[in-house]
């Protein structure tokens, strides 16, 4: 989408077709497109924005602890480093805009803290509201996140003291927000992003809720004891609840969306900087409230022991973030190599039908049918792909990610299995050639079917079979299960 905007085609999936809001991260996409238009490659633009946002968020957390809470350097460093060694750079490596969204979520939350410290400030109320709007422009769920922050402010201040910020929030969203919403509805012809239609559909996804809460819990785990200590007094309890309202509220909102594409818990990542800015408020001043002896009253040996213990605890906390993120992997991907190979035929007017609406369309530049529907309004609104709809495009290449192989049948009836089975049957009934079925295991396979009746068909089949295909989940060379089963000839 950013590439097409940069080239002047508008926010479209296929050049020449009507606009589609499939990217969902509107403002991030526009800024990426501006960088691409200025001469930066789309890959470098996305990663530059991600790295910049990641570094700024780390610094913002440190400054927030020091300025908002007047926290010690060790506390601020621990919070900042916890984010620094966490999953943020894995998201950047995989070209997700997650850190950019998290930066604005963190900025908006810092402004929320300043609002509760200075509730009489009209300037802070407006700044919080404008930052909330920007967060919502980056990703639509930013509106939900910002609204939970507003509810947290009302909870802590009460309606009377929060009236300024509530009025500013309503004013900003009912004017600037409404103008944007009216424009996007007019431009795209639908009020919601296409992936929300596909992944939501007005249903309840309890599995997504469990995954979201689990991701949030494990991201936050080392700091939860501090939140529990907030039970010790009325003020500490209110501050703890204030910090938890946007975290739990946002995590719970994913009950309305399926969990697909939640790479490394990226949908919940925005709650992490919020928690890292807030947790110290729950224990600030605890030594006085519990009448603990001051560090100065200890002997030199005791002070040294306490300080070393604090350092070890901080290192252990940061280490937890590092080791718990190491399971998020981003390896070499054969779809990239295939996409670049198919790019040699970009001027031939060929059509790709695929469930993998990422690397292949970007690098091949073929007209693409997204068979899962995240980028296809018809598929999203009509319950899935059909053979009749595919016939309208008559794709030259059909590629899909299946949970079966030529040797093993699919297990269970899921929407994804139904789609991939339909694509397989469609290709075989119409005489497509199975060029390859690359996979790491027989339960995770990339099928490539090529229509045999166009000029470049035989050449593309040969190149697909001879390519060094690395499987994304392992980064290792994949097995061609079609060849091992004697299906491809």
In this predicted structure, the answer to whether residue 119 has a pLDDT above a threshold of 60 is yes
Q: What is the CA radius of gyration of the chain?
A: 26
Cα separation of the two ends of the chain: 37
Contact 481, 445 (CB under 8 A): yes
Q: What is the pLDDT of residue 467?
A: 96
| Tens digits of residue pLDDT in 290-316 | 667 777 777 888 878 878 988 999 999
Look up tokens 């620094």; give the residue.
84
Average pLDDT, the chain: 94
pLDDT score recorded for residue 75 = 95
Q: Is 352 strand, coil or helix?
A: strand
- 84 vs 80: CA distance, rounded Å: 6
3-state secondary structure 384-415: CCCHHHHHHHCCCEEEEEECCECCECCCCCCH
- Residues in CB range of 190: below 8 A, 6 or more apart: 21, 197, 377
Greatest Cα pair distance, the chain, in angstroms, is 87
The span from the CA of 419 to the CA of 254, in Å, is 24
DSSP state of 19: P
With pLDDT > 90 as the criterion, what percentage of the chain qualifies? 84
CB of 97 closer than 8 Å to CB of 263 = no
Q: Supply the pLDDT for residue 173.
A: 98
Strands across the sheet containing 367-370: 367-370, 351-354, 397-402, 444-450, 433-441, 479-480
Look up residue 270 and give its two tokens: 């925005």
123-180 pLDDT, tens digit per residue, is: 999 999 999 999 999 999 999 999 999 999 999 999 999 999 999 999 999 999 999 9
- 45-55 pLDDT, tens digit each: 999 999 999 99
Separation CA 394–CA 391 (nearest Å): 5
* Two tokens, residue 453: 């009746």
Tell whether the torsion through CA atoms of 189, 192, 193 and 198 is positive or negative. Answer: negative
Q: What number of residues does the chain have?
A: 489
Rounded distance between C-alpha atoms, residue 22 and residue 10, angstroms: 13
Enumerate residues 6+ apart whose C-beta is below 8 A from 330. Answer: 90, 93, 94
The candidate with the shortest Cα–Cα distance to 420, out of 360, 327, 356, is 356
Rounded to an integer, the average pLDDT of 322-338 is 89
Q: Is the pLDDT of residue 275 over 70?
A: yes
What whole-number distance in Å separates Cα of residue 338 and Cα of residue 293? 66
Confidence (pLDDT) at 298: 77
Kind plus residue range of the DSSP H or E element containing 480: strand 479-480
DSSP string, 89-108: HHHHHTT--HHHHHHHHHHH
Query: 70: phi > 0 → left, psi -120 to 50 → alpha, else beta; which?
Result: left
pLDDT at residue number 488:
58
Burial of 318 (0-12, 13-18, 19+ CB in 10 A): buried
Query: Three-state SS string across 131-199, please?
Result: HHHHHHHHCCHHHHHHHHHHHHHHHHHCCCCCHHHHHHHHHHHHHHHHHHHHHHHHHHCCCCCHHHHHH
Taking alpha carbons only, the member of 356, 358, 349 closest to residue 371 is 356
CA distance 2 to 23: 9
Percent of the chain exceeding pLDDT 70 equals 98
Quick: pLDDT tens for 412-432.
788 999 999 999 999 999 999
Residue 328 pLDDT more than 70? yes
pLDDT confidence tier of residue 285, bands split at 50, 70 and 90? confident
pLDDT tens, position by position, 20-60 = 999 899 999 999 999 999 999 999 999 999 999 999 999 99
Residue 399 and residue 354 in contact, taking contact as beta carbons nearer than 8 Å: yes
pLDDT of 66 strictly over 70: yes
Per-residue pLDDT reduced to its tens digit, 68-114: 999 999 999 999 999 999 999 999 999 999 999 999 999 999 999 99
pLDDT, mean of residues 242-253: 97
Mean pLDDT, rounded, for 349-360: 96
Position 257 scores a pLDDT of 92
pLDDT score of 293: 74
Mean pLDDT (whole number) for 218-244: 93
Q: Is 126 helix (H, G, I), strand (E, B) or coil?
A: helix
Asked if the model's pLDDT at residue 289 lies above 80, the reply is no
Q: Average pLDDT, stretch 217-235?
A: 92
Task: Give the H/E segment covering residue 270.
Answer: none
User: In sequence order, what E strands does 340-463 have?
Assistant: 351-354, 367-370, 397-402, 433-441, 444-450
């Amino acid at each position: 989408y950013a590439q097409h905007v940069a080239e002047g085609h508008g926010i479209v999936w296929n050049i020449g077709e009507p606009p589609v809001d499939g990217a969902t991260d509107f403002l991030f996409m526009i800024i990426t497109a501006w960088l691409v238009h200025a001469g930066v490659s789309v890959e470098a633009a996305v990663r530059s924005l991600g790295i910049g946002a990641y570094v700024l968020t780390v610094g913002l957390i440190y400054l927030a602890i020091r300025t908002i809470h007047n926290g010690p350097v060790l506390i601020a460093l621990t919070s900042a480093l916890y984010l620094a060694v966490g999953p943020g750079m894995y998201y950047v490596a995989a070209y997700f805009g997650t850190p950019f969204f998290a930066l604005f979520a963190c900025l908006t939350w810092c402004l929320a803290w300043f609002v509760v410290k200075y509730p009489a400030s009209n300037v802070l109320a407006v700044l919080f509201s404008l930052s909330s709007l920007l967060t919502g422009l980056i990703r639509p769920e930013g509106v939900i996140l910002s609204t939970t922050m507003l509810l947290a402010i009302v909870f802590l201040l009460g309606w009377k003291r929060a009236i300024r910020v509530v009025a500013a929030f309503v004013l900003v969203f009912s004017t600037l927000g409404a103008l944007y919403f009216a424009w996007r509805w007019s431009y795209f012809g639908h009020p919601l992003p296409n992936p929300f239609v596909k992944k939501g559909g007005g249903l309840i996804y309890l599995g997504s809720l469990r995954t979201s809460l689990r991701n949030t819990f494990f991201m936050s785990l080392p700091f939860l004891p501090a939140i529990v200590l907030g039970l010790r007094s009325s003020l500490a309890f209110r501050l703890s609840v204030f910090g938890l309202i946007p975290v739990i509220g946002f995590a719970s909102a994913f009950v309305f969306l399926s969990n697909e594409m939640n790479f490394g818990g990226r949908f919940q990542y925005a709650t992490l900087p919020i928690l890292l800015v807030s947790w110290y408020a729950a224990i600030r001043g605890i030594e006085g409230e519990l009448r603990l002896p001051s560090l100065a009253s200890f002997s030199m040996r005791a002070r040294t022991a306490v300080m070393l213990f604090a350092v070890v605890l901080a290192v252990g906390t940061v280490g937890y973030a590092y080791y718990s993120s190491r399971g998020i992997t981003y390896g070499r991907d054969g779809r990239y190599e295939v996409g670049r190979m198919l790019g040699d035929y970009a001027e031939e007017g060929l059509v790709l039908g695929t469930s993998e609406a990422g690397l292949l369309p970007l690098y091949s530049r073929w007209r693409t049918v997204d068979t899962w529907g995240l980028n296809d309004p018809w598929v999203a609104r009509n319950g899935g792909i059909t053979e009749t709809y595919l016939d309208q495009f008559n794709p030259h290449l059909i590629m899909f990610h299946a949970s079966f192989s030529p040797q093993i049948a699919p297990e269970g009836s899921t929407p994804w299995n139904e789609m991939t089975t339909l694509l397989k049957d469609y290709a075989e009934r119409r005489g497509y050639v199975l060029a390859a079925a690359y996979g790491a295991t027989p339960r995770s396979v990339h099928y490539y079917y090529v229509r045999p009746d166009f000029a470049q068909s035989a050449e593309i089949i040969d190149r697909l079979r001879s390519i060094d295909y690395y499987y994304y989940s392992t980064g290792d060379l994949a097995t061609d299960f079609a060849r091992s089963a004697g299906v491809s000839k």
